[in-house]
């Protein structure tokens, strides 16, 4: 695999291919062409083949396309879906609770194991997920071997909580706080700023830039 070209964009496409493959499989399909996969997520067939090749997936059959089962296995293995991916939610307000109850996560392979809050008496509406006090984070993260956290805290708490999260040994953060956190040497941050997304949307609409977004 050509690691230098692997970036968030190509990874998200790979995840997307996986979703499409599951759907095709559910519909009873057995084979798929790069052309079909491209159509399904709105990219070119060349892009699909280039992506798969980049991740070292070359199970395609000239003329015959790809076996869905085989391709799915390869993609799942590449994305690490062979093992269960644990994640914690830090900040159990409305947004944190919404994510803890989010139905869009794939059933297999991804699991929210705990929530954390300054006020842990608030109970997850999803009773299966325990909520702890922030200062128990290091213990739980270590015990459960969690490496990824979702941060849904208010802006005012974000910087301080990010320190805590890093000290707990978390290696990757999906940050929903409206504050751009910077990746450090040991912890990777992916910022999702809803206000920013919305603002860019207003602009695009205002100037009728109805071309597809990247």
Residues lying near DNA in the complex (CB under 7 A) are found at 5, 7, 9-10, 33-35, 43-47, 49-50, 52-53, 58-66
Contact 186, 166 (CB under 8 A): yes
Q: Which of 24, 48, 99, 129 binds a copy of itself (CB under 8 A)?
A: 99
Chain residues 107-146 in contact with a copy of itself, contact rule CB under 8 A: 110, 125
Stretch binding a copy of itself (CB under 8 A), from 45-53, 66-74, 136-144, 196-204:
196-204
Rank residues 70 and 135 by Cβ distance to DNA and give the closer one: 70
Specify burial of residue 65 (Cβ count, 10 A radius: 0-12, 13-18, 19+).
middle
Q: Does 160 bind a copy of itself (CB under 8 A)?
A: no
* 209's tokens: 């830039």
Instruction: Mention every residue, 6+ apart, whose C-beta is less than 8 A from residue 27.
Output: none
Q: What is the rounded distance in angstroms from the CA atom of residue 39 to the CA atom of residue 19?
A: 14
Q: What is the rounded distance in angstroms from the CA atom of residue 40 to the CA atom of residue 10?
A: 15
Shortest approach of DNA to residue 23 CB, angstroms? 17
Binders of a copy of itself: how many residues, by CB under 8 A? 75
If phi > 0 it is left, if psi is from -120 to 50 it is alpha, else beta; for residue 42 that is left
Chain residues 42-71 in contact with a copy of itself, contact rule CB under 8 A: 42
Q: Which of 97, 131, 134, 165 binds a copy of itself (CB under 8 A)?
A: 97
């Amino acid at each position: 695999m050509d690691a230098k070209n692997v970036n968030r964009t190509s990874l998200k496409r790979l995840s997307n291919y996986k979703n499409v493959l599951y759907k095709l499989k559910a519909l009873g399909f057995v084979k798929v062409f790069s052309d079909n996969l491209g159509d399904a997520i709105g990219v070119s067939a060349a892009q699909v083949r280039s992506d798969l090749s980049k991740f070292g997936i070359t199970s395609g059959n000239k003329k015959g396309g790809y076996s869905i089962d085989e391709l799915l296995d390869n993609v799942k293995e590449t994305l690490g879906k062979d093992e269960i991916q644990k994640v914690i939610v830090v900040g159990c307000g409305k947004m944190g609770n919404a994510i803890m109850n989010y139905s869009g996560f794939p059933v297999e392979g991804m699991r929210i194991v705990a929530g954390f809050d300054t006020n842990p008496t608030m109970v997850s509406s999803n009773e299966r997920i325990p909520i702890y006090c922030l200062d128990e984070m290091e213990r739980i993260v270590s015990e459960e071997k969690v490496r990824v956290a979702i941060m849904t805290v208010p802006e005012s708490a974000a910087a301080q909580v990010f320190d805590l999260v890093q000290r707990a040994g978390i290696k990757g953060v999906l940050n929903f706080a409206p504050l751009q956190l910077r990746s450090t040497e040991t912890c990777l941050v992916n910022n999702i700023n809803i206000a920013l997304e919305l603002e860019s949307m207003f602009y695009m609409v205002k100037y009728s830039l109805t071309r597809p977004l990247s």
